[in-house]
Chains A and B, each alone.
Chain A
């Protein structure tokens, strides 16, 4: 069975500082991995995805993530935080080889930005 673990339910950084949100996955087959962002009372928006191509993936709003198979990690980073980045972020994994496909999400990390 697949799963993702997001370390830290709440992360707070200063505006302009580095953002690092951690995600570790577990999968018996090569996974697809995703990061989503959710603003209050809205659905989820895809930030970026890893689908077995380049291990460093660039997404929207200046975010990027690196797939590290040896560490089973897919951490999300942004060099300089902006106030508008305050939101909840979810890491997710899906099975690339299953006809009964499903997408499993982590518990989420709330990102706060200090002025």
Chain B
């Protein structure tokens, strides 16, 4: 069965420090991968998604970047954190699109999230 691992669970970082959050998926190949952010009182904002190694689409201009160095590894980074980067970060994966075949491009499966507090 497929599993998704996201770490760390909580993180407190000073303003201006770098950030690296890692997410790995097991039990599937070539998944679509996503990073979402959930700020207090707001919904889920899609930050990045990836349909393959080295293929990253950015949804929102910001202080963050993402990379996919391996098929099932997705990393969220920042060189210098801002206070506004605080939030709950969620990694997710979904079955990749296969030309309209039923079962493709369906639901996203989520990790347990990382609570980031920038102080």
Contact = CB atoms under 8 A, between A and B. Distances in A.
Given A43-B113, A96-B100, A102-B34, A90 B43 contact: yes
A96 B95 CA distance: 12
Given A90-B44, A107-B42, A108-B44, A99 B111 contact: no
A31 to B, nearest CB: 10
Contacts of A106: 43
B94 A103 contact: yes
A17 interface: no
B24 interface: no
A102 B49 contact: yes
Interface string A92-103: 101111111111
Interface SS of chain B: strand
Interface in B60-119: 88, 90, 92, 94, 96-97, 99-100, 102, 105-113, 115
Interface size class of A (residues with CB under 8 A): 20 to 34
Interface string A37-78: 000011111100101000000000000000000000000000
B105 A95 contact: yes
Given A43-B110, A46-B107, A49-B106, A101 B97 contact: yes
Nearest to B41: A9
Interface residues of B, number: 31
A105 interface: yes
A42 B32 CA distance: 21
Interface of A: 6, 32, 34, 36, 41-46, 49, 51, 90, 92, 94-108
Top 3 closest pairs, chain A to chain B, by CB: A107-B43, A43-B110, A105-B44
A112 B113 CA distance: 23
B37 to A, nearest CB: 11
Nearest to B48: A102
* A6, A34, A45, A51: residue with the most chain B Cβ atoms closer than 10 Å: A51
